[in-house]
Amino acid sequence: MTETITITRPDDWHLHLRDDAMLQAVLPETARHFGRAIIMPNLVPPVVTAADAAAYRDRILAALPKNAAFQPLMTLYLTDHTDPVDLAAAYADGLITAVKLYPAGATTNSAFGVTDIKHVMPVLEKMAAIGCPLCIHGEVTGADIDIFDREAVFIDTVLDPLRRALPELKIISEHITTKNGVDYVMSADQNLAATITTHHLIINRNHIFVGGIKPHYFCLPIAKREHHRLALRKAATSGDARFFLGTDSAPHTDPNKESACGCAGVFSATNTMSCLAHVFEQDGALDQLEAFTSLNGPAYYGVAPNRDTLTLVKSTTPVDYPTSIETRDGPVTVFDPGYPLHWRVV
Ligand code: DOR
Ligand code: ZN
């Protein structure tokens, strides 16, 4: 008997598409399954102004395969010097959907990020007033804070004080990786939601280090202990409207990953929907897959769900997907969940 599930077409509320050759290669992988995606602005140089966002949007649209209905939802990269007038105009024009806060030094291409939240309070106040959502990479950066504690410390020392100071600001705590993150979001009754990646539902920190170092499982925030992964699974599969998919699919070429100083990022666009169907089925929650991938995100961002659908079929033979995709910059390894996948998008 074939098992089939049809859901509202999903959206990806956190995606890295890069630019140039990499954009050309990875965009079809997302556009094949997803209706829309929040596009991360951490290019080199970053997408800082409305003009930058418009130009990047046009490059993405030009790189789309023919007949693809995919819609990029643009973001601005918040810096200590962001102009609130430019930001507000971009939001009013519908050019941007959100603004991204990277603490300076937290992750890939975050050098131009915010050095102290105090520096951007006037911009955040403006965003709260106009209803523009803030996507946050929630990790502190101090060398004295252990990399596995950076998310929890950020919640206590930056996120919670910010929410108390500016409760009207609509926040997305991105790619949460800890039970602390889950619990904090669940304690909030308004203006806070979280995205969860596919890979953080599947790997814990052992996957990175046990049996030899596995650079393709290295991302930021880094995967944590098993009990954190289980908390993420519970949140994602619960149907709770405050949690939704943001894959954080972040391509780097294999030479840049498999290096003495490997880049952070997991590329999962190719097989994310197969992985998620597997995860939700394992947890007896296939009926909540649509809420996580297709309904909760639009509801939080205040937009309608996609009008078309996506169908997955379960087969006894494993799904055949490439272990890496070719780009003109070199190969990019696709996320390996560590087991065969059986749900295929049709
Ligand atoms: O692992 C990551 N990769 N985390 C981020 O926050 C950025 C991303 C990237 O751009 O490669
Ligand atoms: Zn990211």
175: left (phi over 0), alpha (psi -120 to 50) or beta: left
Residue 199 pLDDT exceeds 70: yes
What is the atom index within ligand 1 of the atom nearest the CA of 102? Answer: 6
Other CB atoms within 10 A of residue 153 CB: 17
- CB of 177 closer than 6 A to ligand 1? no
Residue 283 pLDDT exceeds 60: yes
Q: Whose CA is nearest to atom 10 of ligand 1?
A: 108
CA of 13, nearest ligand number = 2
* pLDDT digits 0-9 by tens, 85-127: 999 999 999 999 999 999 998 888 888 999 999 999 999 999 9
Find the angle CA(97)-CA(102)-CA(103) to the nearest 5 degrees: 150
What is the atom index within ligand 1 of the atom nearest the CA of 40? Answer: 10
- CB of 108 closer than 6 A to ligand 1? yes
What is the atom index within ligand 1 of the atom nearest the CA of 263? Answer: 11
Residue 62 pLDDT exceeds 70: yes
Is residue 248 annotated as part of the catalytic site, yes or no? yes
Is residue 43 within 8 A of residue 18, CB to CB? The reply is: yes
CA of 219, nearest ligand number = 1
Which residue shows structure tokens 């046990």? 210
- pLDDT given at position 309: 98
Residue 2 pLDDT exceeds 70: no
- CB of 137 closer than 6 A to ligand 1? yes
Q: What is the mean pLDDT of residues 128-137?
A: 98
Residue 169 pLDDT exceeds 60: yes
- CB of 46 closer than 6 A to ligand 1? no
**Rounded Cα distance, 147 and 219, in Å:** 12
Most ligand 1 atoms within 8 A of CB, residue of 15, 151, 176, 219 to mutate: 219
What is the atom index within ligand 1 of the atom nearest the CA of 264? Answer: 1
Q: What is the mean pLDDT of the chain?
A: 97
- CB of 42 closer than 6 A to ligand 1? yes
Cα 328 to ligand 2 centroid, rounded to whole Å: 22
Which of 30-39, 108-117, 184-193, 224-233 is the least confident region? 108-117
Element (H, E) at 29: helix 20-31
Q: What is the mean pLDDT of residues 42-62?
A: 98
Instruction: Report cis status (omega within 30 of 0) of the bond before 45.
Output: yes
Cα 131 to ligand 1 centroid, rounded to whole Å: 26
* pLDDT digits 0-9 by tens, 210-234: 999 999 999 999 999 999 999 999 9
**Rounded Cα distance, 262 and 314, in Å:** 35
**The model's pTM:** 0.98
Q: What is the mean pLDDT of residues 179-198?
A: 98
CA of 18, nearest ligand number = 1
CA of 195, nearest ligand number = 2
What is the atom index within ligand 1 of the atom nearest the CA of 137? Answer: 6
Q: Whose CA is nearest to atom 4 of ligand 1?
A: 220
Cα 92 to ligand 2 centroid, rounded to whole Å: 25
User: Nearest 10 degrees: CA dihedral of 149, 155, 158, 159?
Assistant: 150
Q: What is the mean pLDDT of residues 148-160?
A: 98
The active-site residue out of 12, 52, 248, 336 is 248
**Rounded Cα distance, 185 and 176, in Å:** 10
Please name every residue paired with 39 in a beta bridge, in sequence order, or none if there are none. 15
Residue 245, Cβ density class (10 Å: 0-12 exposed, 13-18 middle, ≥19 buried): buried
* Residue 1: pLDDT band with limits 50, 70, 90: low
Q: What amino acid is encoded at 325 in this protein?
A: I
- CB of 18 closer than 6 A to ligand 1? no
Q: What is the mean pLDDT of residues 244-265?
A: 98
How distant, in Å, are the alpha carbons of 105, 179, 242, 303 from that of 299? 32, 23, 9, 6
Its CATH architecture, for the domain 3-345, is Alpha-Beta Barrel (3.20)
Percentage of the chain exceeding pLDDT 90: 97
Most ligand 1 atoms within 8 A of CB, residue of 108, 172, 259 to mutate: 108
Percentage of the chain exceeding pLDDT 70: 99
